Structures are given as C-alpha cells and as structure tokens.
Amino acid sequence: MNIINVEDAREAARRRLPRIFFDYIDGGSFGEETLHANRADFARWTLVQRVLNDVSTRDLATRFLGADHPLPFMLGPVGFLGLYAGGGEIAAAKAAHAAGIPLCLSTFSIASLAKLRQATTGPLAFQLYVMSDRAIGDELLAQAREAGVDTLFLTVDTTITSVRERDVRNGFRSLTRISPGLGARLMTRPLWCFDMLRAGMPEVGAVAHRPEFGKGVLEQASHLSRRIDTRLSWRDVDALRARWPGRLVLKGILSPEDALTARAAGADAIVVSNHGGRQLDGTSSTIAALPGIVDATEGGIEVLFDGGIRRGADIVKALALGASGVLLGRAYVYGLAAAGEAGVARILAHLTEEVSLTLGLMGMRSIDELKARGRAALRPR
Ligand SMILES: Cc1cc2nc3c(=O)[nH]c(=O)nc-3n(C[C@H](O)[C@H](O)[C@H](O)COP(=O)(O)O)c2cc1C
C-alpha cells in the first residue's frame, strides 16, 4: 500500500494487526465523544493565508523541553509498541532519532530503557505511572537515571482507567493469557504473527525481572495496572519534584487551574492532553482547552500539546495557540503497525513536509516566526 498520509497508515495498520490490537490503539473511552472532538475541533480554527514573502526556504527547527530540535514534534509515550511490530519501541526510537527528535518511552513497554539505550544514542524521555508499591517507582526512576533520561513525563490523567468499549467487546480488558479462540483470531494476521514469533516472547521490560509480576506481557501488564496508585495527589508531585533532579513534565492537564498548580509545584512543563480521548469521555478536546491554559499560565510554565494530530496543519495550529512543541500519538503508531521503523519514518517525513508546506503557504519561513505570530496566524471559523 502506498502510504501518503496518516489515514493511509491507519488503514494499513487495520489490515495488518489483529483486530484486538488495532481497536486498542484506535479506540477511545465510552461513546468516544472526546476522541472525535480531538480531531473535529481543529477545524474550528482556520489558517491565515499570507503571500509574497519569499518562502523559498523554510526552517522547522525550534526549542522545546530545554533543547533545540530540528522539528517541532516528538514521539509521545504509547504502551506496548512491541506488540504492534516486532521490536516496536526500538524501531520507533530509531526512526525518531534518525529524524533528530526525542521519543518518550511508556512504563508499559516491551523494550526496557536499558535495551533502548543499547540500541540508540538519541534523546530519550520516560513516562512514569506512580505505583502504590513505592519500591517499584524507585526502581523505575533508577532505570531512567541509568539510561541517561533527562526528562520524566508523569502521567496524571490515568490513576483510574476508563472503559474502552471496543476493548471490552474484544476481551482485551481482561486478557491475561491467549485462549485457543484468541489464538485462532491472531492467526488470521500471518504477517503480524511471523513478526511476533521472530521478536520472541514479549514481556513488560521494566518489570520482567520481577517474578511476582508473572510471565509474559499480558500477565505482567495486568499486575502492573492493578498497582497504579489511585490515590495519586499533588503531594506526590511535590515528592517526585524533590527526588527527580531532571526535567519534570506533567502529562494530562486539561484545566487552567491544574496548570497553575503544576507551575506552583515546580513542574518544568505540562502536556495539555486528555490521553487521546481514552479517559474522561465528554471532556473538551485538547485544541479547545489549549488557549485558556496558555492564557492562564502567562508563560510561567512550558506548555506542550497532544491529541488528534494527524496533519501538519494540526501541528501548526497547536503551535500558533501557544504550544512549544507537540507529541505524536496514534499518528506514528499507525505507521509502526503498518511497516515498522520504515512506517514511522514515513509518517515523520510526511508530517515534516506537511508542516513545511503549510507554513510556506501561510507566508512564513520558520516555526519561530509562527510562534511569534501566534494566534494572529489563525482565525476562528
Ligand atoms: C494505544 C495507546 C497507548 C497509550 N499508552 C500510553 C501510556 O502508556 N502512557 C501515557 O502517558 N500515554 C499513553 N497514551 C496516550 C498518548 O501518550 C497520547 O496522549 C495520545 O495518544 C494522544 O492522542 P492521539 O493518539 O490522538 O495523537 C496511549 C495512547 C494510545 C493510543
């Protein structure tokens, strides 16, 4: 299949993956209202077209998370990449690093941070879920330090997990082992099966050495999920801030009030995120929430963005509304599931071209110019 945009990659992923995994990636919680709003609300802003400004060269480099990056986006944390393509985390990291951008590894990953560090030398961030057993958290932080992680993303919108009805229907939610029925369904996707067999038995890399988590990714993930601390509060953010010397980012902020508290707690940045519409169904889209948060925080804390990004124009809109950089989620995961490292590379190349062309057609030559122009680059529809 000729993949020329994210939607093509989504379709290729749908054909290649067993349905249980495609639906896990693609779906949202309950009625999927917020999942759809994340996409639909980008259309509430139009791009201002300006002309005759010599756009023969365009520079997409910009600064976010304390570093200069050649592109205004990075790969956000997505669980179980190694189940969508053999060696998925390493494949995604290699594609990201070849493009010069960072990847944030999810706690729920097949490759451990150490494995990832061996495979690639580019910038790595780590996404942390706080566990009620603090010894596990200590161990995860130690792993992050050892791997040279400088930025920790604490996910704050998932202390309890919402219901994703596609997962309930497919039996993903309660999955701890592969039944004969599921095995038969998996075998309807032979290319994927072959890829998985070649990669070896998947495990959750961060806890694979702990026998109490059982064997294999399904059992380990189920144990790990049950240990996510549902009592997580701002006090834990204070405690983490005191212990983690690197950059601390709170991921999953959707209200100006929480953004201000994050700033007061000493977080370096927030990600305006609703977990890709997978948690509180009925809450606002991230693009609708972004301007209010940027206004309230008045530059006192860096604001990143994710949710629904499938086009270069979406990235341009988020940056114009005040995000310093954006995190890709499903966009790169569809590419990974469709064609491994090459699939991620293709998505990154497409988005790069789309951002560059969009910028030029708006009469601008750089991301920094876009950031300076800010909301004047957009009009409400
Ligand atoms: C399949 C899947 C798994 C995810 N796993 C995690 C995770 O382990 N940790 C986390 O902080 N966010 C996770 N997310 C949320 C993403 O980091 C991101 O917020 C979201 O995907 C952005 O929306 P988008 O996919 O529409 O771009 C996951 C998202 C998906 C689709």
Mean pLDDT across 345-354:
98
The CA 363 to ligand 1 mean position distance, Å, reads 33
Does 63 count as an annotated binding residue?
Answer: no
pLDDT at 109 over 90: yes
Identify the H or E element spanning 247: strand 247-253
108: left (phi over 0), alpha (psi -120 to 50) or beta: beta
CA gap 112, 117 in Å, rounded? 9
Q: Is 78 annotated among the ligand-binding residues? A: yes
Q: What is the pLDDT of residue 147?
A: 96
List pLDDT tens digits, range 118-168. Answer: 999 999 999 999 999 989 999 999 999 999 999 999 999 999 999 999 999
- The confidence band for 279, taking pLDDT boundaries of 50, 70 and 90, is very high
Q: In the predicted model, what is the mean pLDDT of residues 360-380?
A: 98
What domains sit in the chain, N to C, each tagged with a CATH number?
A: 6-44+63-348 (3.20.20.70)
Q: Is the CB of 78 under 6 A from ligand 1?
A: yes
CA 357 to ligand 1 center in whole angstroms? 27
Closest C-alpha to 205, from 197, 213, 196, 195: 213
Give the model's pLDDT for residue 178: 87
- Residue among 288, 251, 286 nearest 268 (CA): 251
- pLDDT-derived band at 215 (thresholds 50, 70, 90) equals very high
pLDDT at 1 over 90: no
Could you tell me the distance, in angstroms and rounded to a whole number, from the CA of residue 360 to the centre of ligand 1?
30
Ligand 1 centroid–CA 344 distance in Å is 16
Cα 254 to ligand 1 centroid, rounded to whole Å: 15
| Residue 302 three-state SS | strand
Confidence tier at 331 by pLDDT (50, 70, 90): very high
Task: Write down how long the chain is.
Answer: 381
Q: How many CB atoms lie within 10 A of CB 18?
A: 19
Dump strand ranges (E) for 27-69. 45-47, 62-64, 67-69
CA–CA separation, 291 vs 302, rounded Å? 13
| Protein residue closest via CA to atom 10 of ligand 1 | 77
Q: Out of 42, 278, 290, give the residue to mutate to test ligand 1, the one with the largest number of ligand atoms within 8 Å of its CB.
A: 278
Q: Nearest Cα to 340, choosing from 156, 19, 90?
A: 90
The answer to whether 69 and 58 are in contact (CB under 8 A) is no
Single-letter code of the amino acid located at 61: A
Q: Give phi and psi for 67, each to the nearest 5.
A: -140, 160
Q: How far apart are the first and last CA of the chain?
A: 35
Q: What is the pLDDT of residue 193?
A: 96
The pLDDT of residue 163 is 97
351 vs 17: CA distance, rounded Å: 23
54 annotated among ligand-binding-site residues: no
Cβ neighbours of 341 (radius 10 Å): 20
- What local confidence, expressed as pLDDT, does residue 172 receive? 87
Nearest residue CA, atom 29 of ligand 1?
78
Within 8 A by CB and 6+ apart from 159, the residues are 130, 228, 229, 230, 231, 232
Please name the residue whose Cα sits nearest to atom 21 of ligand 1.
329
For residue 176, the model assigns a pLDDT of 82
Q: What is the mean pLDDT of residues 194-203?
A: 94
Catalytically active residues, by annotation:
275
Which of 80-92 are b and which e, b meaning 16 or more Cβ less than 10 Å from the residue's Cβ?
bbbbbbbbbbbbb
Helix (H) or strand (E) holding 304: strand 302-305
Is 330 annotated to bind a ligand? Reply is: yes
Taking the CA of residue 35 as reference, the ligand 1 atom at the shortest distance is 26
pLDDT band at residue 344 using 50, 70 and 90 as cut-offs: very high
335-359-247 Cα angle (round to 5): 65
Average pLDDT of the residues in 271-295: 98
**Contact yes or no for 113/124 (Cβ under 8 A):** yes
Choose among 26, 139, 116, 61: nearest CA to 367.
61
Residue type, 361: L
Mean pLDDT of all residues in the chain?
97
Instruction: Output b/e per residue, 36-48; b: 16+ Cβ within 10 A.
Output: ebbbebbeebebe
Q: How confident is the model at residue 173 (pLDDT cuts 50, 70, 90)?
A: confident
Q: Which atom of ligand 1 is nearest to the CA of 273?
A: 19
Residue carrying the six token digits 């980012």: 249
- Residue 50's contacts (CB-CB under 8 Å, 6 or more residues apart) are 362, 363, 364
Distance CA 176, CA 217 (A): 8
How high is the pLDDT of residue 157? 98
> Per-residue pLDDT tens for 308-327?
999 999 999 999 999 999 99
Task: Decide whether any atom of ligand 1 lies within 6 Å of the 29 Cβ.
Answer: no
Q: Is 200 annotated as a binding residue?
A: no
